[in-house]
């Protein structure tokens, strides 16, 4: 990525805090978060890969969600940890644009994979007799292709829009990562068109998955209310509960960040929101699915038993 129409060849990331006394405690706190994220998501990926009874559409999507979360956190956290222990956390222009691209790619891909999982739950609960046909390997492959296709297109649109800007002398990004709005603040030309691109892309790549999720769960809820047995209702709710928690955490924090204009949302508030959806949510996802999923617990027990007895 070459620098165009700009005198800036590198940026300085301000980091999460400017208070020296907080840097070391925050370093170890977020290092712990990152290790839990890596361990949790990597364990879930390996567990699904090793257990053939988990090679179903639901767990194929969960495998990809863990892969996205692991990659998403790795794109952000190591660089953020560096900001706590270095006097100047410098990132080159090309590195900043690369980080921005992958931030957008994994963020959009996560919203799309969550909508694919919602559709999978709808088919499993509302049309169980045709589930195998409806969610065939070919359909799952097409859905995953759509997930990563939307991620690539959205990331390319955001990154291309930012690369069209001119940066003059100010190169201090008031953030711990190369996010869209903090970079827009540094531009020395108008950013109205760029902000418009942000809201249009977000409306498409977040709006479509959100509508899909709402429709899927409205139909699921309608179906559950027609189930007469308490046991049947409880089983249906437990099937969806983990996914609903993950969706609420991810979309809630993401909407707070991107669906408000920068004039209303301060950059410091944006840091907290970004921290939640980019670091905390990827850490919590494998814990939520592991602790609330009986199949995952059984697979973990079997895998551990095989390792112990072998």
Split at pLDDT 50, 70, 90, the class of 128 is: confident
Angle at 170 between CA 164 and CA 171, to 5 degrees: 75
In this prediction, residue 2 carries a pLDDT of 44
pLDDT in tens, 175-223: 889 988 889 888 887 788 888 888 898 888 888 888 999 999 899 888 8
pLDDT in tens, 277-296: 788 889 988 888 776 667 77
Q: Does the structure show a pLDDT above 70 at 96?
A: yes
Task: Give the burial class of 103: count Cβ atoms within 10 A of its Cβ; 0-12 exposed, 13-18 middle, 19 or more buried.
Answer: buried
CA distance 28 to 36: 12
Q: Contact 19/101 with Cβ under 8 angstroms?
A: no
Mean pLDDT, the chain, as a whole number?
Answer: 84
pLDDT in tens, 113-125: 999 999 999 998 8
Q: Does the structure show a pLDDT above 90 at 98?
A: yes
In this prediction, residue 157 carries a pLDDT of 94
User: Within a 10 A sphere around the Cβ of 216, how many other Cβ atoms?
Assistant: 23
Split at pLDDT 50, 70, 90, the class of 65 is: very high
Write b or e for each residue in 72-95: b if 16 or more Cβ atoms lie within 10 A of its Cβ, otherwise e: bbbbbbebbbbbbeeeebebebee
Q: Does the structure show a pLDDT above 50 at 83?
A: yes
In this prediction, residue 240 carries a pLDDT of 77
Mean pLDDT of 54-72: 93
Q: Does the structure show a pLDDT above 60 at 262?
A: no
User: Within a 10 A sphere around the Cβ of 156, how many other Cβ atoms?
Assistant: 14
């Amino acid at each position: 990525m070459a620098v165009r129409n700009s005198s800036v060849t590198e940026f300085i990331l301000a980091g999460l805090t400017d208070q020296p006394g907080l840097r070391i405690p925050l370093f170890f706190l977020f290092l712990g978060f990152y290790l839990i994220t890596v361990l949790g998501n990597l364990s879930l990926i390996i567990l699904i890969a090793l257990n053939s009874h988990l090679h179903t559409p639901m767990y194929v999507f969960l495998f990809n969600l863990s892969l996205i979360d692991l990659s998403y956190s790795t794109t952000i956290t190591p660089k953020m940890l560096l900001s706590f222990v270095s006097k100047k956390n410098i990132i080159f222009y090309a590195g900043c644009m690369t980080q921005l691209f992958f931030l957008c790619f994994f963020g959009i891909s996560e919203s799309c994979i969550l909508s694919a999982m919602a559709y999978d739950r709808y088919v499993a609960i509302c049309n169980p007799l045709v589930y195998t046909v409806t969610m065939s390997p070919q359909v799952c492959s097409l859905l995953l292709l759509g997930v990563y296709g939307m991620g690539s297109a959205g990331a390319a649109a955001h990154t291309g829009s930012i690369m069209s800007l001119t940066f003059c002398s100010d190169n201090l990004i008031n953030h711990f990562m190369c996010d869209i709005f903090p970079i827009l603040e540094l531009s020395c030309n108008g950013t109205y068109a760029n902000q418009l691109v942000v809201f249009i892309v977000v409306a498409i790549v977040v709006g479509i998955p959100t509508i899909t999720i709402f429709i899927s769960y409205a139909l699921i809820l309608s179906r559950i209310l027609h189930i007469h047995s308490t046991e049947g209702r409880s089983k249906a709710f437990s099937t969806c509960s983990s996914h609903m928690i993950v969706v609420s955490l991810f979309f809630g924090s993401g909407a707070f960040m991107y669906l408000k204009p920068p004039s209303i949302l301060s950059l410091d508030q944006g840091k907290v929101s970004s921290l939640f959806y980019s670091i905390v949510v990827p850490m919590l996802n494998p814990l939520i699915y592991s602790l609330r999923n009986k199949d995952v617990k059984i697979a973990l027990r079997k895998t551990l038993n095989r390792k112990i007895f072998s």
